[in-house]
Amino acid sequence: MHQKEEILQEDKMATKTYKRTDGRKNDELRSPILAKVGVIPNADGSAMFQIGKTIAIAAVYGPRKMHPQHSQNPEKGTLRCTYNMNSFSVEDRIRPGPSRRSTEISKITEWAIEPVLMIGEYSSQVIDVHINIIQADAGTRCAGINAAAMALAHAGIPMKDLVSSVSVGKMDKTIVLDLDKYEDSEFKEGEGSTDIPITFTHGGEITHIQLDGKINSKQLKETIEMARKAAEEIYEIQKKALKEIGKWKHQISQEIESRNIYK
Ligand code: ADP
């Protein structure tokens, strides 16, 4: 078949083959999307991010001196992310403690976030970000990154930009946004499922992309554009949550002022 005809044929099949089980449009994020900042009072910064049935909580501690001393980097600070999926986060209890998967996701989270941090300002110090997935229905690394970015901003760590993360994928030949657990791991028809988590700065730069499955370059471009638009939606939700905490702080300080507590 002529190459152009082949592409047209693919295009025709592209939106018909897969119908989402939850009734979402192909480019629709799961709901609800909830974001809240300041959920762990003892942390220097914290945030919760929920998308559909996936819920992540991030807590930031630091910046503080890195111990042991030989791990200190005198030229820049260290962003240390620890991703953990709680044993009760999925239906069948999972073994607590670190795994290959959690170690990989922790590293990826650091790579996704570090480009927007002014990490050079924190020589010999460490910023710890603990991410806990309390409910998992796919897209947990993205939810964790979204929560972590808000928690870092809440901790007052200077950032060049926020980051927003979303997964996009291909079910056989159909491009879809924000895969749920069935789409991520259980769909097996045709070419099966391809999962592509991507993280963007608000400026639209990609700080992290992973690809698990098969996809051609034309479809990859399409998925990236779909994810970019969705990341903007997520950014607005993160920004609103961060502004909310500003409002509370303002309300609290007005309250203190009106009661003349320190006068
Ligand atoms: P992500 O959550 O970032 O999409 P994966 O693709 O590795 O990462 O996992 C997809 C989903 O599979 C998870 O969100 C979770 O619902 C489920 N899952 C992952 N690991 C396990 C596990 N060890 N036991 C049960 N379910 C798991």
Give the dihedral sign, CA 90/29/147/250.
Answer: negative
pLDDT at 247: 65
Ligand 1 pocket residue status of 194, Cβ below 6 Å: no
**pLDDT confidence of residue 196:** 98
Q: Is 141 in the pocket of ligand 1 (CB under 6 A)?
A: yes
Ligand 1 and 144: CB distance under 6 A = no
Q: What is the pLDDT of residue 106?
A: 98
Instruction: Please give the distance, rounded to the nearest whole angstrom, from the Cα atom of residue 199 to the centre of ligand 1.
Output: 18
Enter the tokens of residue 230. 């969705």
pLDDT number for residue 252 = 56
Q: Which atom of ligand 1 is nearest to the CA of 140?
A: 2
**Per-residue pLDDT tens digits of the chain, which is 263 residues long:** 455 545 444 544 444 579 999 999 999 999 999 999 999 999 999 999 999 999 999 999 999 999 999 999 999 999 999 999 999 999 999 999 999 999 999 999 999 999 999 999 999 999 999 999 999 999 999 999 999 999 999 999 999 999 999 999 999 999 999 999 999 999 999 999 999 999 999 999 999 999 988 899 999 999 999 999 999 999 999 999 999 986 666 665 566 566 554 44
SS (H, E, C) the chain: CCHHHHHHHHHHHHCCCCCCCCCCCCCCCCCCEEEEECCCCCCCEEEEEEECCEEEEEEEEEEEECCCHHHCCCCCCEEEEEEEECCCCCCCCCCCCCCHHHHHHHHHHHHHHHHHECHHHCCCEEEEEEEEEEECCCCHHHHHHHHHHHHHHHCCCCECCCEEEEEEEEECCEEEECCCHHHHHHCCCCCCEEEEEEEEECCCCEEEECCECCCCHHHHHHHHHHHHHHHHHHHHHHHHHHHHHHHHHHHHHHHHHHHCCCC
User: What is the Cα Rg of the chain in Å?
Assistant: 20
Sequence-ordered list of residues with C-beta below 8 angstroms from that of 8, at least 6 positions apart, any chain = none
Cis peptide upstream of residue 96 (ω within 30 degrees of 0): no
Instruction: Give the residue, out of 54, 87, 90, with the most ligand 1 atoms within 8 A of its beta carbon, to mutate for a pocket test.
Output: 90
CB of 140 closer than 6 angstroms to any ligand 1 atom: yes
Ligand 1 centre distance from Cα of residue 82 (Å): 16
Of the residues 30, 88, 140, which should be mutated to test ligand 1's pocket, given the most ligand atoms within 8 Å of the CB? 140
- How far, in Å, is the centroid of ligand 1 from the Cα of 138? 6
Q: Which two tokens stand for residue 14?
A: 């592209």
Whether 76 is in the pocket of ligand 1, judged by its Cβ within 6 Å, is no
Task: Read off the tokens for 30.
Answer: 């799961």
C-alpha 240 – ligand 1 centre gap (Å):
28
* pTM score: 0.90
Ligand 1 atom at shortest distance from the alpha carbon of 101: 7
Find out whether the beta carbon of 181 lies less than 6 Å from any atom of ligand 1. yes
Residue whose structure tokens are 């946004």: 177
Atom of ligand 1 nearest to the CA of 91: 25
**Is the Cβ atom of 223 under 6 angstroms away from ligand 1?**
no
